[in-house]
Amino acid sequence: MKAVYVKEPKSLDVAELPMPSAGRGEVLVRVHAAGICGSDVHIYHGTNPLAEYPRVIGHEFAGEVAALGLELPPEKRGLSVGDHVAVDPVTSCGTCYPCSVGRPNVCSRLKVFGVHQDGGMAEYVAVPAANAHVVPKEWPWEKAAMIEPFSIAANVLSRTECTASDRVLVMGAGPIGLTVLMGAVLIGARVAVADVLDSRLETAGELGAELGVNSGRQNLEEEMLKWTGEGVPLIVDAVCIPALFPSLLRMASPAGRIAHLGFSERPAEIVPLEITKKELSIIGSRLNRNMFPRVIEWFGKGLDPEKLISHKFPFTEARKALDLIEEKPLETCKVLLTF
Ligand code: MN
């Protein structure tokens, strides 16, 4: 079978690899669509500190069950060959402290498909049956492959307990910022989006943002005070420039929450007094903790993830697709590979 294979940093090929088989508790998935994430581009370039090589990349994928392994967990015994599934890429040990408190996405022995173990940009991949979530057969494969990116939004909105009475500022209208926007709008919150590109703000408006602020031209802190009168109850940072962090603390309302999704290793200078005075919650969110069922529900309620898909390529043109994201970040949103 063929797979998108990063042998070592900067070397990406479509390679012929041995056909995997479903082990105990696993299903074999015939992959039909896989999304490309910024983190895949980083693994390709050798700038993802968590990746191990060689690696079949891809953690946003969907396909059909091609074979069932032995001893499937009780809740997955209903799975059949031919079922359409989206695969949650997070695998965890189940026994460490974070697992014991329902946070398997930060398991001490976390393994993510496409990062720590071979992933979904392959014609076939064997995955734990527990990670395979059945989706309606009438959904296009592309839609099913969008569940993982939306699980990032579901996780952060769950961690911050976003409700219909919230006002949310989403920093950044890239693919992740837009998934957070769409999730928060579905929940019923009022959402403002900040970005430096008018074209992205226009997209955010079409997807339900009440207010778009061009933070390159406008004073975002003033705009947020005007919008809310007392500061923003929930800020989700999908830009993740450490230098902006002090401003987030200033914009947050008393009792506000600030969620952070970035992977920067640079320090941010913050004023601790703001945290105490306003009793702020500063919340990290990584991957997702069992959010696939919730996202499947969102899609069933009319959230249309295909609005974020800008390009599709056959997987044999994976390198071209990854290069496009790199070279034309402003023209690409979500880029998918089909298999
Ligand atoms: Mn991703």
60 CA from centroid of ligand 1 (Å): 6
Q: What is the pLDDT of residue 50?
A: 79
Residues 249 and 110 in one domain: no
Residues 80 and 142 in one domain: yes
215 CA from centroid of ligand 1 (Å): 25
CA nearest neighbour of 168 among 61, 80, 304, 259: 259
CATH of the domain at 67: 3.90.180.10
CA 112 – CA 108 distance, rounded (Å): 12
End of a domain among 269, 284, 299? 284
Q: What is the pLDDT of residue 240?
A: 83
Residue 115 lies in a domain: yes
CA nearest neighbour of 18 among 33, 9, 27, 5: 5
**Parent domain of 258:** 161-284
Q: What is the pLDDT of residue 272?
A: 93
Q: What is the pLDDT of residue 117?
A: 95
Residue 212 lies in a domain: yes
272 CA from centroid of ligand 1 (Å): 32
CATH of the domain at 273: 3.40.50.720
Residues 227 and 88 in one domain: no
Q: Do residues 71 and 24 make contact, with C-beta atoms less than 8 angstroms apart?
A: yes
End of a domain among 284, 302, 325? 284
Residue 245 lies in a domain: yes
222 CA from centroid of ligand 1 (Å): 33
Q: What is the pLDDT of residue 291?
A: 98
229 CA from centroid of ligand 1 (Å): 35
Residues 88 and 113 in one domain: yes
Residues 143 and 58 in one domain: yes
Q: What is the pLDDT of residue 329?
A: 86
36 CA from centroid of ligand 1 (Å): 7
Residues 171 and 279 in one domain: yes
Residues 145 and 26 in one domain: yes
Tokens at 183, concatenated: 């999730």
292 CA from centroid of ligand 1 (Å): 14
Residue 109 lies in a domain: yes
117 CA from centroid of ligand 1 (Å): 15
End of a domain among 240, 260, 284? 284
Residues 9 and 135 in one domain: yes
CA 275 – CA 221 distance, rounded (Å): 17
Task: Give SS3 for 312.
Answer: strand
Q: What is the pLDDT of residue 218?
A: 98
CA 72 – CA 69 distance, rounded (Å): 7
Q: What is the pLDDT of residue 285?
A: 98
Residue 155 lies in a domain: no
Residues 140 and 41 in one domain: yes
Q: What is the pLDDT of residue 288?
A: 98
Residues 19 and 103 in one domain: yes
Residue 156 lies in a domain: no
Residues 218 and 329 in one domain: no
Residue 132 lies in a domain: yes
287 CA from centroid of ligand 1 (Å): 8
- If one counts the domains in the chain, the total is 2
37 CA from centroid of ligand 1 (Å): 4
Residues 227 and 312 in one domain: no
Residue 154 lies in a domain: no
**Protein residues near ligand 1, an ion, with CB under 5 A:** 37
pLDDT 10s per residue in the chain (339 long)? 999 999 999 999 999 999 999 999 999 999 999 999 999 999 999 988 878 899 999 999 999 999 999 999 999 999 999 999 999 999 999 999 999 999 999 999 999 999 999 999 999 999 999 999 999 999 999 999 999 999 999 999 999 999 999 999 999 999 999 999 999 999 999 999 999 999 999 999 999 999 999 999 999 999 999 999 999 999 999 998 999 999 999 999 999 999 999 888 899 999 999 999 999 999 999 999 999 999 999 999 999 999 999 999 999 999 999 999 999 988 999 999 999
